[in-house]
Amino acid sequence: VQLVESGGGLVQPGGSLRLSCLASGFTFEDYAMTWVRQAPGKGLEWVSTINWKTGSSTLYAESMEGRFTVSRDNAKNTVYLQMNSLKPEDTGVYYCARGAPPNYRGTYVPRSVDFAAWGQGTQVTVSS
């Protein structure tokens, strides 16, 4: 199982980035996929989850709702995170992970054991 993120970089506040996560080693469409981020000096934070197969169900952390959009292309074994209206507080390393979190409560803090596989992460820096 391998997950490889790409698309991170430096962007000005208000700008946009699209992250990609290429999956291999498993039947991609059979799994929900999740994005998690880690700001400098802070813990992991759940960002978004998209359901398996059709990707018709998507969920977002409150602070990302309306700015971020998760999608998937099962033919390309890829999950995307379109990030618009970026803020300095969006700075961090963004990880994709296989599976769905155990809950979606606002107090949920991701743990490494919550997901069967993680990517290596891609750095996003929002700064002027």
Give, for all 128 residues of the chain, the pLDDT tens digit.
999 999 999 999 999 999 999 999 999 999 999 999 999 999 999 999 999 998 889 999 999 999 999 999 999 999 999 999 999 999 999 999 999 999 887 788 999 999 999 999 999 999 99
13-44 in b/e form (b: 16+ CB < 10 A) is eeeebebbbbbeeeebeebbbbbbbeeeeeeb
Residue among 2, 14, 9 nearest 93 (CA) = 9
Distance (Å, whole) CA 77 – CA 103: 25
Per-residue confidence (pLDDT) for residue 107, from 0 to 100:
83
Distant-in-sequence contacts of 57-64, Cβ < 8 A, 24+ apart: 59/104, 62/106, 63/89
Per-residue confidence (pLDDT) for residue 98, from 0 to 100:
97
Per-residue confidence (pLDDT) for residue 106, from 0 to 100:
78
Per-residue confidence (pLDDT) for residue 20, from 0 to 100:
98
